[in-house]
Amino acid sequence: MKKVVTFGEIMLRLATPGNFRFIQSTNLNATFGGGEANVAVSLSNYGIPAEFITRFPHNDIAEWCLSELRKYNVRTENIVRGGNRVGIYFLETGAVARASKVVYDRAGSSMAEIEPGMINWREIFKEAQWFHWTGITPALSQGAADACREAITIANEMGITVSCDLNYRKNLWKYGKTATEVMPALTEGCDIILGNEEDAEKIFDIKPEKFDASRTEGKVNATEFESVCKQLQTRFPRAKKIIVTLRGAINANHNTWGGCLYSEGKLYQSPKYDITHIVDRVGGGDSFMGALIYGLIAYPGDNQKALDFATAASALKHTIYGDFNLVSVSEVEQLMKGDGSGRVSR
C-alpha cells in the first residue's frame, strides 16, 4: 500500500497536571503533538503507512521526539535537519465554565525557518498516494507557506490526492501576512477540504446564517452548514469533498460531536456523540482528519462509512490524554456499531 505523507511542525507539549492553572503548577507533563504529526500517528495505528515531514535541529529534544514518532511506526527518514530549536506549546486544561488555554513558544523554531527547496518532494512522493497539510504550517512564516505551496504544486503534478485541514489559529499569523491573503492559493490545490464551524468564516468569510459557535448549547445542526460546503466548493472547484466538524460546547468537560460531508451535491451527516467527561480535546480535529483519510482509503465510494468512522474515532480521542489518538480500527468499529458502554474487555 502506498503511503500518506503529512507536513508540518511537531512541538514539545508541556501541560499542567489535571486541571491545574499555570500559576498553581509546580511541574508540567511532557509529551509531543502537532496537527500533521497527530494525523500520521492515527493513520499508522490504523495500518496505513504514514510519513511525517518536518525540519528538526540536531539536539536531544529532537531525538526524543523522533523516538516518539518511531514508537508509533511513523516514518521519519526524510525529515530535514537544521536550525536551533523544537517549538513548544504550553497547555492549561480548563474545567466546566473555565476554558482551556494554549501558549505557544515556537518563534524561531527549525520548522518556522524552513524554506522551499530544502525538501525533495518528488522523491518523497514517488511512493505516496496522499499528501496532507494544515493551515497551521503557512501561519508559521513566509518560508513555511512557500514550502507548503511547493509541496502542493508537486503533489498536484504527480496526481497525488491533497487534503487540508483549514485549522485557523489567530495567534500564529504574526509575520505580516494574514490567513485571508495566504490560504486561498494553497487551498486551490486541494481535493479534500476539512474545517470546523468557524474556519471558513475566519479565513474566507464564508459562514452559515445566524450561527454563533459560542451559543450552541450543544446543538449544532449539520444542515446549517450545507451552504458553507457549497460555497467552499464553488470557490475551490478542484475539491471533491468538503467536510465540516461540528462541536457543540456545553462546557469545557461536556461537548457534543459530529460532522458532515458534502460531495457531488449530496450532504452526508454523521451520528452525534454526547461526550460527557472529556479527558483531552486537544487533537480532536486531527483525529477526525486521520480517521477520515483512513475511511476514504479503506471504504472507497462509501462517503457515509468514511464520515462515520472519522466521527467515532475522534469521539474516542476525547477520552485519551495527549495529542495522539491511540485507538485501533476494531475499537472505532465497535463504537460505530453502537457499543459505547465502556465495559471492561476481558
| Collapsed DSSP state (helix, strand, coil) of residue 7 | strand
Beta bridge partners of 175: none
Position 344 scores a pLDDT of 47
End-to-end CA distance of the chain: 33
Residue 36 to residues 81, 206, 229, Cα–Cα distance (Å): 18, 24, 23
Q: Between 35-45 and 284-298, two packed helices, what is the crossing angle to 10 degrees?
A: 40
Q: Which letter does DSSP use for residue 205 in this model? A: -
Q: Which residue has the cell 505551496?
A: 149
- Model's pTM, two decimal places? 0.94
Position 249 scores a pLDDT of 87
Q: What are phi and psi of 3, to 5 degrees?
A: -90, 165
Residue 277, number of CB atoms within 10 A of its CB: 8
pLDDT tens digits for the chain (346 residues)? 899 999 999 999 999 999 999 999 999 999 999 999 999 999 999 999 999 999 999 999 999 999 999 999 999 999 999 999 999 999 999 999 999 999 999 999 999 999 999 999 999 999 999 999 999 999 999 999 999 999 999 999 999 999 999 999 998 999 999 999 999 999 999 999 999 878 999 999 998 866 665 565 566 777 888 999 999 999 999 999 999 999 988 999 999 999 999 999 999 999 999 999 999 999 999 999 999 999 999 999 999 999 999 999 999 999 999 999 999 999 999 999 987 655 545 4
By C-alpha distance, which of 11, 88, 86, 77 is closest to 50?
A: 77
Q: Which residue has the cell 502542493?
A: 152
Taking the domain 3-335, which CATH number applies? Answer: 3.40.1190.20
Q: Which residue has the cell 510519513?
A: 51
List, in sequence order, the alpha helices (H) in the chain.
Answer: 35-45, 60-71, 121-124, 137-140, 142-157, 179-187, 199-204, 226-235, 284-298, 303-317, 329-336
Position 218 scores a pLDDT of 60
